[in-house]
């Protein structure tokens, strides 16, 4: 299980100092209840996987052939057509501790009305826009045993996303949900619960 003190990373730089622990006393009773429920859900999905001798990373890589750096797993990513949430797993950072990491996204179809990207009139290249707009939420680093070991964010050119203001991205976190059985229902629900449980830390990273 990931600790409450998580590490900032960039896509190609060494780890930076750990984030400060979040004081949950500043959260409302409803927010604390939601965090508690997400933690219980996460433990239940982990229990189900471990009972079958499975882990999150193993299920994502199952029947995918050789594990090749920069390749997305599963092929063509995982996408929920109802929530417009998306994720994939890959590796490229060359860390001794990290096996690979998940990238999580929300596409335009799942964004609340009024969410708009930052002004990018001076951008050196076009951004995805309209129905193709996509916001990266957070990346989750995993170890070789299929356990989460950190969270990180980075600049837009890593994932060629549309850039939204920090508070807008934070507002999108609640919209992320994968609720189908490909590649594995427990994995999808685990990832959804993890973003709920570590929302305070994710907010700190985004800001």
What are 110-143's pLDDT values in tens digits? 999 999 888 766 666 777 878 889 999 999 999 9
Quote the pLDDT of residue 7: 42
Whole-structure pTM value? 0.86
- 81 neighbors 69 (Cβ within 8 angstroms): no
**Cβ contacts of residue 189 below 8 Å, gap of 6+?**
41, 45, 178, 179
Looking at the DSSP assignment, which residues form a beta bridge with residue 141? Answer: 101, 150
**Per-residue pLDDT at 113:** 93
- pLDDT, tens digit (0-9, with 9 covering 90-100), for 31-69: 999 999 999 999 999 999 999 999 999 999 999 999 998
Q: Provide the 3-class DSSP secondary structure of residue 9.
A: coil
Q: Are 86 and 102 in contact (CB under 8 A)?
A: no
Residue 14 has pLDDT above 70, yes or no: no
Residue 83 has pLDDT above 50, yes or no: yes
What's the CA dihedral at 20, 23, 26, 29 to 10 degrees?
A: 130
- Looking at residue 121, what DSSP letter applies? T
């Amino acid at each position: 299980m990931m600790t409450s003190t998580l590490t900032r990373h960039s896509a190609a730089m060494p780890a930076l100092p750990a984030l400060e622990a979040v004081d949950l006393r500043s959260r409302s009773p409803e927010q604390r209840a939601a965090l508690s429920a997400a933690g219980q859900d996460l433990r239940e999905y982990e229990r189900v996987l471990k009972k079958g001798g499975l882990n999150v990373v193993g299920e994502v890589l199952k029947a995918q052939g050789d594990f090749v750096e920069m390749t997305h797993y599963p092929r063509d990513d995982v996408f929920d057509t109802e929530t417009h949430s998306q994720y994939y797993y890959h590796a490229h950072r060359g860390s001794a501790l990290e096996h690979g990491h998940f990238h999580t996204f929300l596409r335009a179809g799942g964004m609340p009305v009024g969410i708009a990207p930052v002004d990018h009139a001076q951008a050196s290249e076009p951004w995805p826009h309209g129905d193709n707009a996509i916001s990266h939420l957070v990346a989750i680093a995993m170890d070789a045993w299929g356990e989460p070991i950190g969270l990180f964010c980075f600049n837009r050119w890593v994932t060629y996303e549309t850039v939204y203001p920090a508070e807008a991205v934070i507002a999108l976190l609640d919209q992320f949900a994968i609720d189908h059985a490909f590649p594995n229902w427990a994995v999808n629900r685990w990832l959804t619960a993890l973003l709920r449980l570590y929302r305070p830390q994710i907010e700190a990273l985004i800001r």
